[in-house]
A and B are shown apart, each in its own frame.
Chain A
Amino acid sequence: MAAYLLRRLIQAALILLGVTFITFVLLYILPADPARQIAGRSATAETVNNIRIQLGLDQPLYVQYGRYLDGLLHLDLGRSYLQKTEVTTLIASRLPATLLLMLGAIVCELAIGLTMGLFAAIRRGGRIDQTLMVISFVAVSAPQFVVGILLLYVFAVYLGWFPIGGYGSFSHLVLPAITLGILGAGWYSRMMRSSMIDVLRQDFIRTARAKGLKPTTVMAVHAMPNAILPIIAMIGIDIGYFMSGIVVVESVFGWPGIGQLAWQAIQRVDIPIIMGVTLVSAFAIVIGNLLADLIAPLIDPRIKLR
């Protein structure tokens, strides 16, 4: 177990190193000039050049990258070009909001997705199944900004049940969490349905019924844990989807998380923030996958970590 964890963490470090390298090179070859952005439109070429030298942007790629890695070793992600604040401080102040939103979205997609999938599987081929699968199809294919704006219009503007945007209370969380989770809910309902149908065909379900167990026990104790197994691995991968969704959803709902931070930074070519957010996202995905792999053996005794 300890050896397994150590190996996975070493792998994680290598993945993160790769992510920093690719992002760094991409941002380096980007035609946009951060120094010009900082100096403003009216600045002279000399001012721009000074800023460039000051930020070390005149150095060759390997020197810049070496410096960045050196900072990273000391948990220093650099300073924002425009806000003049440490990137770590900026991210740290916004991370809780994003984590809360992600948690809400995961709860939402599991609650909606698994329930829909379960009922569709039990009523396979019937009207309930068909209706649920149409809904899941819509959920999977609707773009998030459309869903977000639609929800805002209906539940915030028209019905007035939830606030239009902002952060602070549970009611603020509901609409963004649903918007972020609805895509996953669509996928999970389909996965859960096929997984459940597969499990219900297994011999051990017949054994459970032959014991005289109630249908609810057969479902909850014998079928569900087996059906959920393939989905757990998906949740880990899902965090990656969330990261791309968060930029959109946080902008639509004015949610003060790292997605919004990233969006602003991209517009202004604030490279240290872009790097920082990318790194944090990659870290989240790696950790999400690791967690999924650690949870799986708790449900399935056949899985051994080694």
Chain B
Amino acid sequence: MPDTPAAPDAPVLSVRDLTTEVATPEGRRVVVDRLSFDISAGETLCIAGESGSGKSMTALSIMRLLPQPMARIAGGSILLGGRDLAALGERDMRQVRGNDVAMIFQEPMTSLNPVLSIGHQLTEAIRVHRPMPAAEARNLAVKALAAVRIGEPERRLHQYPHELSGGMRQRVMIAMAISGSPKILIADEPTTALDVTVQAQILELIRSLQKDFGTAVILITHDMGVVAEMADRVIVMNGGAMVESGAARQIFHAPREEYTRMLLAAVPRLGAREATSGTAPPAPDGDGAVVTVSDLEVGFDIVGGLLRRPVQRVHAVEGISFDVRRGETLALVGESGCGKSTTGKALLNLVPWNGAITIDGMPIHGLGRTRMKPIRRTIQMIFQDPYASLDPRMTVGELVAEPLVIHGLATGSELADRVAWLFGRVGLSADQMQRHPHEFSGGQRQRVCIARALSLSPKVIVADESVSALDVSVQARVLALLQELQDEMGLSYIFISHDMAVVEQVSHRVAVMYLGQIVETGSRAQVFDDPRHPYTRRLLDAVLLPDPDRRRGHFPIADGEVPSPIHPVGEAPKRVAMTDLGQGHFVAG
């Protein structure tokens, strides 16, 4: 202990001129550039920035968990209670990890060891710093699980990570992190991979635990909504360096730097739809529907037993109906597992389904590959992960040309001209055609995917979480591009998303899905201004506003698992009945 007593608001952690470098084939690259900040007990500091800003590297530097041997701390100090973590030996650093500083990560699905029980992983975290009998550690583990509001904690100890949902796993991670009563909790994008309602619960949990334990929290996020919700103080980072830092209110209401202003302007805000470009909804009695879906049902069997007969059935989509008119955007919104992506796949006949779907007047049920081919010229799809959906061995020019070649629509110079035109249309230059997907950024790759989808001049595009993986500033530009293309070509979009703020920005009509069924549908104004179904309200409540003065109040934390769409064979889930509220607004129940 230092001989002078610490001042009451003395920082628990004080980072000075932290510089972290990564070795690349092109030489050393600075990923954290002379970063300095302090954090006091009970305080929440948010480090905000887009991908590549160095925010995660900062966290890993503090934990001294930088990827070896490529990355290293090149300078500066990380002072924790008189010790400089940057200069600590590995053995001493192990005493700090999990004990003084604990960390939770972005991917709850992969951050827990799949072959070890929850109980093992929890007690291990407890006993590594405080040797004690196994039974005692078990009791503490049960307490930790109860603290993160996990129901039946005794039983959970015997469960394995794959038996829990993403939200539950992240709670286990938090339980593990707080079990050592750390002075500092670093949370690196703790809710990014989670559904909005689950995100709201996890944030609420972190906040209440912080209050109980007086932990200092360093929250790393790209989401300005999360920042506004949680931060006492904010550091905005870009390209490894601090752009601006200050109290949350100051950052949001009086940002000093241009970059901060740009970042805030790009955030989709709930209730800000007047601000977006004027999108007059198409006349309801216009050219009629381009897509009609009635009573769509998609299920997958789970087989078992001696003869491998179906024993259970996943009711992914359970009797939904909707239509999409020319030039209209219909948003299918809901959380993971609600059947929204499966619906998108059914529209392109990529999964077996029952019911009736007509695309541009053509019924598509049971069509084989050859008979489906002309339909695919009418309806195209853009996926969530632009990198995974582009073949890394082909040039982007070949990728965009491929649909035209497959459908025999253009050859030779005509093909080249057409591809060049498509590149220009989505905001890429034609001389980039010879490059491969890895040479582009995420936003550019998504533009390539859009160009590919547009190449057949479709009437309908199914966009499945197409902007979810992009940084907000890039997201805003891609959304603007989609809007432009719609105005220009009269495209219809089926916009599949979990993000209510984005949905409000782009859609004309909205269908809210829950457990494979539509629970509310109506025009954008009807659903957002007058939500009738409790689930729609819950979704809207869970949206975080990028404004620290409009923090959401208490959000109820559920202690069990979400209901599942899996039922034994023969026990179909109950279909909801829709009530007509007039003018196209329908709600279940």
Contact = CB atoms under 8 A, between A and B. Distances in A.
A67 interface: no
A214 B160 contact: no
Nearest to B103: A210
Interface in B16-62: none
Nearest to A10: B306
Among A3, A209, A211, A222, max chain B CB count under 10 A is at A211
Interface stretch (B110-118, B246-254, B390-398, B417-425): B110-118
Nearest to B101: A210
Contacts of A209: 65, 97
Given A204-B111, A206-B111, A212-B99, A221 B116 contact: yes
Interface string B127-159: 011000000000000000000000000000000
Contacts of A46: none
Contact of B306 (A6, A213, A300): A6
B21 to A, nearest CB: 19
A56 B445 CA distance: 73
A207 B112 contact: yes
Given A6-B306, A210-B103, A213-B124, A204 B114 contact: yes
Q: Determine the main DSSP class of A at the interface with B.
A: helix
A48 B112 CA distance: 72
A208 B113 contact: yes
19 contacts: A3-B305, A202-B110, A203-B107, A204-B110, A204-B112, A206-B65, A207-B105, A207-B112, A210-B65, A210-B97, A211-B97, A211-B124, A211-B176, A212-B96, A212-B128, A226-B113, A229-B115, A300-B115, A301-B117
A301 B162 contact: yes
Nearest to B302: A306
Interface string A210-253: 11111001000110011001000000000000000000000000
B190 interface: no
Interface size range of chain B in the complex: 20 to 34
A301 B94 contact: no
B161 to A, nearest CB: 8
Interface string A1-23: 00100110000000000000000
Contacts of A301: 114-115, 117, 160, 162
A2 to B, nearest CB: 9
A53 interface: no
Interface of B: 63, 65, 94-99, 102-103, 105, 107, 110-117, 124-125, 128-129, 160, 162, 173, 176, 303-306, 308
Contacts of A202: 110
A302 interface: yes
A207 B175 CA distance: 13
A207 B94 contact: no
Contacts of A210: 63, 65, 97-98, 102-103, 105
A209 B114 CA distance: 16
A226 B97 contact: no
A225 B304 CA distance: 27
Nearest to A225: B115
Given A202-B110, A203-B111, A211-B124, A302 B160 contact: yes
A225 B99 CA distance: 26
